[in-house]
């Protein structure tokens, strides 16, 4: 029997929301998760945790860091020799040292002295991103965009950040303009396609991915991206072809195995779907979307102990997963644990309320007036 078409809402119950709206960009940015796409998408910042301890010697002498220069500049600052040039040089040295807090403060001082310095504003956005504060990064990118509204790199950074924060309309608008300004950029085309996916504009995303696949036919990430979009269009056989190509190119492409499990579910092959997802979590024990999907399928099969184990693991890995908490609530309700069910449903309400509050904050950043 032919499976019914899948809307994004329905797919959201099958494919973790992160995969639906942002995996297309994030997978390409995380080498640990997938094959690097030949430098296709590069974050504007180094995503390594610069505050992570690396041994006393490495912390004392980071590559390219000149401790004597920093000491001299700090002395000049303490002696009251405040200038834009001094603040910028201090900021650069603090970045090399790995002291993001002081780097941020120094760039802030530089922008106070010269508000039109777009490079300083962009550096502040990069630091905020490294500090895992995308809302703060967005605020600085808004400023940078006002200073140079037709700068393709700024539009691209702004669009990526909006996409990660679910500000889809703003992301799409900025990324479209960035591609117009740099029509030959693979990375811009790729992230624009991701923005179309987030807006459920699959027919607009597919041609963009096809264009990239003509240039990079065997790329693991691109074949995964195409496969996931075809899944959302309910073109399951075509999706499977690309997902298998993705795995052939990179056997560690976890998300492709995950989507093959979802395809099996859509085709009514529940046993195969469960087996595939069990294989995903065995392959990658930290991959929370697979635990959520596996738990949901096991609930349907009334295999409640196994389902609870999978869903608890999903919540452990992703405490903010609304779907995992919701499925736990369903499971508890079906097994007569009403108090536990009510707690999970209350958690779902709280998470939704928190998300709405964050969404309001993000919109305020875009339109502070």
Confidence category of residue 68, pLDDT binned at 50, 70, 90? low
- pLDDT above 70 (res 133): yes
- pLDDT above 60 (res 347): yes
- Locate 90 and state its tokens: 């201090």
Confidence category of residue 11, pLDDT binned at 50, 70, 90? very low
DSSP letter at 368?
-
Residue 131 burial (10 A CB sphere; 0-12, 13-18, 19+): middle
Answer with the residue of higher pLDDT: 223 or 353: 223
Distance CA 66, CA 225 (A): 43
Answer with the residue of higher pLDDT: 277 or 59: 277
Distance CA 100, CA 91 (A): 9
Answer with the residue of higher pLDDT: 87 or 38: 87
Please write the tens of the pLDDT for every residue from 160-178: 999 888 888 899 999 999 9
Fold of 269-369: 1.25.40
Q: Where are the domains of the chain?
A: 269-369
- Locate 318 and state its tokens: 């992703």
Q: Give the residue-averaged pLDDT of 135-143.
A: 94
**47: which residues sit within 8 A by CB, 6+ positions away?**
29, 30, 130
Distance CA 179, CA 287 (A): 32
Question: What is the residue whose two structure tokens read 């990430």?
Answer: 221
Any idea how long the chain is? Answer: 369
Please write the tens of the pLDDT for every residue from 295-315: 999 999 999 999 999 999 999
- Locate 234 and state its tokens: 């309910």
């Amino acid at each position: 029997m032919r499976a019914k078409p899948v809307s994004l809402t329905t797919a959201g119950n099958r494919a973790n929301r992160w995969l639906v709206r942002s995996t297309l960009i994030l997978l390409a940015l995380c080498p640990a998760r997938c094959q690097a796409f030949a430098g296709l998408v590069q974050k504007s910042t180094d995503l390594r945790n610069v505050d992570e301890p690396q041994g006393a010697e490495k912390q004392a002498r980071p590559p390219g860091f000149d401790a004597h220069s920093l000491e001299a500049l700090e002395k000049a600052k303490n002696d009251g020799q405040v200038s834009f040039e001094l603040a910028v040089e201090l900021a650069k040295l603090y970045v090399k040292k790995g002291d993001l807090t002081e780097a941020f403060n120094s760039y802030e001082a530089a922008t106070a002295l010269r508000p039109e310095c777009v490079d300083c504003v962009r550096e502040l956005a990069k630091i905020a991103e490294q500090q895992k504060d995308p809302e703060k990064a967005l605020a600085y990118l808004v400023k940078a965009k006002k200073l140079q509204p037709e700068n393709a790199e700024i539009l691209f950074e702004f669009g990526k950040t909006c996409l990660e924060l679910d500000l889809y309309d703003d992301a799409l608008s900025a990324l479209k303009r960035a591609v117009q300004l740099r029509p030959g950029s693979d990375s811009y085309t790729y992230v624009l396609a991701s923005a179309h996916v987030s807006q459920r504009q699959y027919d607009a995303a597919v041609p963009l991915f096809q264009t990239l696949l003509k240039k990079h036919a065997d790329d693991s990430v691109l074949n995964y991206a195409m496969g996931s979009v075809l899944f959302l269009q309910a073109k399951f056989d075509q999706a499977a072809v690309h997902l298998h190509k993705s795995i052939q190119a990179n056997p560690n492409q976890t998300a492709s195995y995950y989507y093959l499990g979802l395809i099996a579910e859509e085709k009514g092959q529940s046993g195969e779907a469960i087996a595939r997802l069990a294989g995903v979590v065995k392959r990658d024990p930290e991959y929370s979307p697979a635990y959520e999907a596996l738990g949901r399928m096991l609930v349907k099969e009334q295999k409640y102990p196994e389902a609870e184990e999978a869903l608890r693991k999903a919540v452990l890995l992703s405490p903010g997963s609304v779907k995992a908490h919701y499925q736990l609530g369903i499971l508890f309700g079906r097994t007569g644990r009403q108090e536990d069910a009510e707690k999970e449903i209350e958690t779902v309400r709280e998470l939704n309320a928190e998300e709405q509050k964050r969404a309001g904050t993000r919109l305020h950043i875009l339109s502070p007036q």
